[in-house]
Amino acid sequence: MSAVDTTFETLRSQGRKAFLPFVTAGDPNLNFTGKVLKELISRGASLCELGIPYSDPIADGPVIQASYTRVLDQNQKLADILKAAQTWTTELSAPIVSMVSYSIIHRQGLENYVTSAKAAGIAGAIVPDLLVEESAAFAEICRREDFSLIQLVTPTTPRERALQICETSTGFLYFVSVTGITGERTELPPEVVEQVGWLKARTDLPICIGFGISKPEHVKMLAPVADGLIVGSAIVRKIAEVEEKGEQAVLAEIGALADELITAINS
């Protein structure tokens, strides 16, 4: 069992649901990313997603895309991220999974990516551009190394296919709430509740919903059917204001947002 499996098992036994914040690694620097992760976990985040910046992130909206560009412009390397992660993960009480393009994994070598991420204390990967058809070789390595490979289902995924994805995904299933890219939305499509409910009746895998979630209203609508909720752009947007507002103010704002969302999730 990976640390992700253990986390969801504990949450289930306690009748609680997960809050999964997303943070871009190195925005605006790795030191601050470590502080944000610590803050989020101290507020009750069950698991954190660490976004590995990529030059061509086609599933990401302007907020996360801009954060990736900011980091890559500073010439930050994957090795720098892993080195920093190694120091954070020894202190953090919740697991970290990487959100990473297959372009990066392929370039590192599949096996090498998994072993070096594991060595840095990272418990798994969400690979937004790796479809189930292309994932056999990587999934095999992840299984052997007990590294969670979290796969995605979207509103456009046919139901049969969604079940097939559930079979190969480990850790949890990432259910994308909207047909679109990451980024905050005013409203989320109500069908997602029915779609996730249908899947939940057919799989034991924890299902977490992400994309577009930023408000307590979203959380209240989705929490009853989900095992966890993922929030990315709303946090990354706050981090983008560090230069203007200062680290302490931004950490406080992120903490307050986390409190608000976690309360809504478990209300």
Catalytic residue positions, numbered: 49, 60
Cβ distance to another protein smaller for residue 6 or 55: 55
Cβ distance to another protein smaller for residue 10 or 179: 179
Cβ distance to another protein smaller for residue 11 or 104: 104
CA distances from 105 to 114, 125, 240 (A): 8, 10, 26
In the complex, least distance from residue 263 CB atom to another protein, rounded to whole angstroms: 31
In the complex, least distance from residue 252 CB atom to another protein, rounded to whole angstroms: 31
In the complex, least distance from residue 104 CB atom to another protein, rounded to whole angstroms: 4
Cβ distance to another protein smaller for residue 14 or 75: 75
In the complex, least distance from residue 244 CB atom to another protein, rounded to whole angstroms: 21
Contacts to another protein by CB under 8 A: 54-61, 65, 69, 72, 77-78, 101-108, 128-131, 133-134, 151-158, 161, 165, 176, 178-181
